[in-house]
Structure 1
Amino acid sequence: MPSPIPATRLLPSHVCPSLDIGTCSSPLTKHSHGSTLQVPVQRFHGRVASRLWSTVIQWKELRSVQPVGSGGFGSVYKAEYFGETVALKKVKKCAKNKLASRQSFWAELNAAHLRHRNIVRIIAATTCVPADFGDESSIGTILMEFVGSRSLQQIIYGGAELLAEDRWLRYATDIVHGLHFLHSNGVVHLDIKPANVLVSAEELCKIADFGCSLKLNQGCEVSALSPHLSHVGGTYTHRAPELLKGEGVSPKVDIFSFGITFWQLITREQPYSGDRQHVLYAVVAHNLRPPVHGHPVFRSETGRQCRTLLGHCWSGEARSRPSAEELLPHLEQLRSRK
């Protein structure tokens, strides 16, 4: 479950100088200096605009809504919107922690104003949902580009698809390009893993699911023990040791998670086995990491270089890890040899 993060940290400063979380709770529709802050959906040549997102969903324009999947976060649907194929995500209210689930919805909007080929684009989001589209367990709805139904999780562990060296290097490079863009805009994803990376029909990786994300002020860190961060979200197998110790949140936590994901891409194996609490303790106390020494896939020249990169990415000290920007030339160099 994601952390209960204050909504003022989740949205651009010009959007929410103050907010009121109520029935129709989007701070993006609050009045600012006497005017209502609403970004209209625009259409260019029959297509939903790629540069703007809206705080209003034109419900009458939704067609052919079909379920795609569901989980603890809520449900995802495929639909047509102004003639475009889109994904519609209903964020579910968690009965045990209503504040955390509400903040998870706002965290989804951290990247709403950003546009990059390796990030899933948000088209619109709102907490104001008509009765025929919503239900009592739904906090709000997010309209996004439809990337497809494949994730890296399915490709890695599905078993049917060939995952050759040039392919997993391309996927890894896509992820790091996306992280570089997010980090340069002050957004930390906090839940990088194969299940949160979608793969398009054109074989392009896009980072998805920002429900655990955090917007940092430039050059600042946020303590994981902050009263606003009672616990840090994310998946325990990919969680950086500094988060487990309650230390600062920085973009380097995503680099650690990428390291585990990269290892999964290379080996197509699960990173850890055994009891969850044992793994968490061992990651911090005994520097436990997925096995690389003696693994056959790391015996080639490319494998040896990837093993070195992995060691840097999942270093126990955040300052010793490379940034996404520093990682890119190494991955591009490996790809150029293929």
Structure 2
Amino acid sequence: MPSPVPVTRLLPGDIYPCVDTGTCSSPLTQPSGSTLQVPAPRLNGRVGSRLWSSVILWKQLRSVQPVGSGGFGSVYRAEYLGETVALKKVKKSTKNKLASRQSFWAELNAAHLRHRNIVRVIAATTCVPEGFGDEGSIGTILMEFVGSRNLQQVIYGSPEVLGADRWLRYSADIVTGLSFLHSHSVVHLDIKPANVLLSTEDVCKIADFGCSLKLDPGCERSAVSPQLSHVCGTYTHRAPELLRGGPVSPKADIFSFGITLWQLITGEPPYTGDRQHVLYAVVAHNLRPSVQDHPVFGSERGGLCRAVLSRCWSAEARCRPSCRELLPLLRELGSPT
């Protein structure tokens, strides 16, 4: 079955078709019926190539060890061409096969991008040799290994809330990464603490692009895919226009960042109670995490935080700041005491 995601949503126009290529194992096809191709690996003995590859050199994988698993599949730590990498197997969903296939291809929306605040994709394939995969996997993605910590663990793994110096630095990292994505027409659509990894240098890197969307050039928003509108993303962080089935825009990521920023500041979960009640209240009654019951919001910096949060999680997407507008606001938060 052909992939439901157009080629242009995965690769920039200067990448396909290509001479001197390795065959891509995706089901995407060109109009002529030939297999989509992307540049062969530019490894030069290392995994630091500029572009992702459609070829995984399976015999070069060593010491494959499980790191974690979830609804998306499983992640492993491995050695590849002399460097530590993360190997992600995307699980096939028995309930919604189309959505799981879309999720795999969405993981590659940012594969051609390189930024210090985005997890780098090294290679991806749907062809797995015998002994390396399983029948329940749609495909495998090879990425840089950032580390074993994410912001979810950092926020809730300590009895004390983060100091302002740390949450300001982490939030600036996230917005800087989002700004780069948005400048390349990629919307993440699942920004939350669990999807932000921390490197050994304590740098935040945005991960997990399975819900992402590549907007058409020149378009500021796009309609939500009917197959993914209700199954993709995390309801506690999802913008109200998406909960209503409205159009996707980069401002949806700003809303999700606002919820994440509140978590960084307070160290608490954004909502309690029944999922359906929260969904309804966010859309119908502008329910947002509380800024009234936390001492941190009573200071001068706290007042500025309330103003930033209010703008980020505005019910109207057009009223939310862009990433470029948000970065100076975050810098201002670093000034007051």
Output the TM-score relative to the length of structure 1: 0.90
Which residue type is aligned with residue 80 of structure 2? Y
Residue 200 of structure 1 is matched in structure 2 by 199
Count of residues in Structure 1 that have an aligned counterpart in Structure 2: 327
Change in Cα spacing, 1:237 to 1:35, as seen in structure 2 (3 Å) is: closer
1:1-34 superposed Cα distances (whole Å, 9 cap, x missing partner): xxx96344631253679xxxxx943438x69898
Q: How has the CA–CA distance of structure 1 residues 34 and 227 changed in structure 2, closer, same or farther, with 3 Å as cutoff?
A: closer
Identity of aligned residues (%): 70
CA 1:296 to 1:192, structure 2 compared with 1: closer, same or farther past 3 Å?
Answer: same
CA distance in 1, matches of 2:278, 2:161: 30
Cα 1:9–1:169 shift into 2, 3 Å: same
Which residue in 2 is equivalent to 1:27?
A: 28
> What corresponds to 1:189 in structure 2?
188
Match of 2:303 in 1: 304
1:56 equivalent in alignment to 2:55: yes
Aligned equivalent of 2:281 = 282
Q: Structure 2 CA distance, aligned partners of 1:263 and 1:35? A: 46
What is the identity, as a one-letter code, of the residue corresponding to 1:326? E
Higher RCO, Cα 8 Å, sep 6+: 1
The alpha carbon displacement at 1:331 in A equals: 1.1
Q: Deviations over 1:83-140 (max 9, x none)?
A: 0100000000000111110110000000000000000000000001011111000000
Q: 1:35 to 1:262 in 2, by over 3 A?
A: closer
2:329 aligned residue: 330
- Match of 1:223, SS state, is coil
Aligned to 2:42: 42
Q: Which residue of structure 1 aligns with residue 70 of structure 2?
A: 71
Over residues 122-176 of structure 1, what are the superposed CA-to-partner deviations in whole Å (9 max), with x where a residue is unaligned?
Answer: 0000001011111000000000000001000000001167621100000000000
CA contact (8 A) 1:255 1:321 kept: yes
Matched ranges for 1:74-153 at <5 A: 74-153=73-152
* CA 69–178 in structure 1, closer or farther in 2 if over 3 Å, else same: same
Query: Relative to structure 1, is the Cα distance of residues 71 and 145 closer, same or farther in structure 2, using a 3 angstrom cutoff?
Result: same
Residues 304, 220 of structure 1: CA spacing in aligned structure 2 closer, same or farther, 3 A cutoff?
closer
1:261 maps to 260
**2:21 matched residue in structure 1:** none
Give 4+ residue runs of structure 1 displaced > 4 Å after superposition: 30-36, 226-230
Structure 1 residue 180 corresponds to structure 2 residue 179: yes
Q: Matches of 1:65 and 1:113 in 2, distance apart?
A: 25
Aligned in 2, Cα 1:313/1:35: closer, same or farther, shift over 3 Å? Answer: closer
Q: 1:189-209, CA deviations, whole angstroms, 9 ceiling, x for partnerless residues?
A: 000000000001100000000
- Aligned counterpart, 1:219: 219
SS in structure 2 at match of 1:288: coil
CA distance in 1, matches of 2:53, 2:281: 45
Structure 2 distance, partners of 1:239, 1:172, is 18
Displacement after TM superposition at 1:332 (Å): 2.1
Q: Distance in 1 between matches of 2:159 and 2:4?
A: 40
Aligned-partner SS, 1:183: helix
For the 8 Å contact 1:170–1:335, the answer to whether it is kept is no
Distance 2:169 2:152 in 1: 16
Give the structure 2 partner of residue 20 of structure 1.
Answer: none
Q: Given residue 277 of structure 2, which amino acid in structure 1 is its aligned partner?
A: H
**For structure 1, which segment, 208-217 or 48-57, has the greater mean C-alpha deviation from structure 2 after superposition?**
48-57
* Cα distance between partner residues in 2 of 1:16 and 1:162: 48
Pairwise CA distance, 1:48: 1.5
Question: Which segments of 5 or more consecutive residues in structure 1 lack a partner in the other structure?
Answer: 18-22
Local SS of the residue matching 1:100: helix
**Cα distance between partner residues in 1 of 2:85 and 2:12:** 28
SS of alignment partner, residue 249 of structure 1: coil
Contact 1:78 1:146 (C-alpha < 8 Å) held by counterparts:
yes
Scaled by the length of structure 2, the TM-score of the pair is: 0.91
Pairwise CA RMSD of aligned residues? Answer: 2.4
Per-residue deviation, 1:299: 1.2
Q: Deviations over 1:204-238 (max 9, x none)?
A: 000000000000012242223x5565536100000
Aligned to 2:318: 319
The amino acid that maps onto 1:243 is L
- Which residue identity is paired with 1:292? V
Match of 2:20 in 1: none
Flag structure 2 segments of 5+ consecutive residues without an equivalent: 18-23
Conserved 8 A contact 1:10-1:106: no
Q: Which moved more, 1:300-309 or 1:161-170?
A: 161-170
Question: Once the 2 structures are TM-superposed, how far is the Cα of residue 323 of structure 1 from its aligned partner?
Answer: 0.5
- Secondary structure of 1:302's aligned partner: helix
**DSSP-derived class of the 1:43 partner:** coil
**How far apart in 2 are the matches of 1:146 and 1:189?**
20
